[in-house]
Amino acid sequence: MTEAQTWTMIGVFSAAFLGMLTIVSTLFVHVVRSEVGRLDATFDAKLGHVEQRMDSLDRDIQALMRHTFGIDRGE
């Protein structure tokens, strides 16, 4: 364990291992961030659709209230 070649190989393998670990963790973080961004965009689109349906439901209820009871609960 005193030869220079042994310590050199240990250093080379350690550097290669740490380099691969760094690359893999960086790529993993990149993938996770892009997936979270995609889910956020999908959630925003779905939320917009629900909000649009709620607006149309509110408009329908206001029309029914005006028609049935003559009450205008508008702004």
Contacts of 66 (CB under 8 A, 6+ apart): 72
pLDDT digits (tens, 9 = 90+) for 21-41: 999 999 999 999 999 989 988
How confident is the model over 57-75, as a mean pLDDT?
79
Q: Could you tell me the pTM of the whole model? A: 0.54
Say how many residues make up the chain: 75
pLDDT digits (tens, 9 = 90+) for 41-63: 888 888 888 888 888 888 888 88
- Cα separation, 65 vs 73, whole angstroms: 8
